[in-house]
Structure 1
């Protein structure tokens, strides 16, 4: 009986040790280039007018359910947005059209819901990884032309920048990188990821200006640099 209990205790201890080793937690920083995919009816000619640079970062959690397979999640603060231009009325008293521009800066809290696939070692303590899945995002800050308020040149009305965009967003995520083990439980990694926004985040031109079928969607290419413990 004593031998049976001892064997069971050793077995449970081994399972607990193995389970604890399946979770890796770390920190990352992600410089990025962001832009907006823009569309509208031809008469308003909404277009993307360039990209913006940003930086984000946060906590990552990799839960391994196999030697080379992990569910990867975490909590990140990310920068998104871009520059747009469009045709609009010159002023409330002048119906002539002119080109206006906006520099849009948005910050999101992001929760990745992804799968990481690791190769076997390609060199000593070095593996490649591929990451696929999506992210759930919530907007926490907004600026237009660097300001929290925006005065529309067509109407003369001032609005909060936050009122121009919806709060939720979601994105498809694809990435690849390399991970290197530098200690018994310490790893460093570097990779590149692409985040393709799925939601039309714009609501001002549709709801307030009544310009139908205007769409802004986020795009982001990020360099992911981090350390896992």
Structure 2
């Protein structure tokens, strides 16, 4: 959590500086749309007695904004996106889990379906353009606000689906954001954006007072697909 806060503050201060100098250096702000297919959503428990029980597909979609550096070889990258994540956990420890009392010692399976409004804050460095292509690498953080949390659960012969667990899920998700990829010039002011990205969560997804499970983080691998205008 402290690491994520530090990354957020550093990226925000750096981005503010870029905005302030835009009139002096003539830096451009590029806007675009993105749709990121997420092929790995993994809730990762950090203690014994809990296991990952499958990874689901997801998607991120929304707006991108690049505040260009003076030489156009880098940018402060941010935006506003909606994030959907699905992943499952298996609780073998009878003292842990949301329905541990009702389960009476039986293994509990939980499938969480999460939705966030998310703001990425990162530095993106780029190569020079060659035949319309340029390559980029990205490092930073993200901050997500929970807007939806649904649960499927089962233990023994008992199960239920689509339970609203907003009150039992942490409202903020933060983590490390890294990525790499390329851009291709489609037209004078239009670029195709593509790559691969990792979101490595720092914050606890479940609330310990309800789940009694120490810490569970959300890690995601996604394709980056979009168009800048």
Q: TM-score range by the shorter chain?
A: 0.7 to 0.9
Give 1:32-71 correspondences, 5 Å limit: 32=38, 33-40=40-47, 42=48, 45-66=49-70, 67-71=72-76
- Structure 1 runs, 4 residues or longer, greater than 2 Å off: 15-19, 87-95, 150-153
TM-score, with length taken from structure 1? 0.78
Q: Residues of 2 paired with 1:83 and 1:217: CA distance?
A: 12
1:143 alignment partner, SS class: strand
**Rounded Cα–Cα distance in structure 2 between residues aligned with 1:77 and 1:114:** 17
Aligned length: 201
Q: CA distance change for structure 1 residues 177 and 214 in 2, over 3 Å: closer, same or farther? A: same
Alignment pair present for 1:124 and 2:128: no
CA RMSD, Structure 1 to Structure 2 (Å):
3.0
Deviation at 1:151, TM superposition (A): 8.7
Could you tell me which residue of structure 2 aligns to residue 6 of structure 1? none
Q: Which residue, out of 197, 209, 213, partners 2:201?
A: 197
Residue 77 of structure 2 corresponds to residue 72 of structure 1:
yes
Which residue is equivalent to 2:148? 141
Equivalent residue for 2:210, pick from 200, 208, 211: 208
CA 46–186 in structure 1, closer or farther in 2 if over 3 Å, else same: same
Ranges in structure 2 where 5+ consecutive residues have no aligned partner? 1-21
Larger gyration radius, structure 1 or structure 2: 1
TM-score (norm 2): 0.78
Gapped runs of 5+ residues in structure 1?
1-14
Tell me if the contact between 1:81 and 1:218 (Cα under 8 Å) persists in the aligned partners.
no
Match of 1:29 in 2: 35
Q: 1:226 and 1:182 mapped to 2: Cα distance? A: 12
Give, in angstroms, the shift of residue 39 of structure 1: 2.5
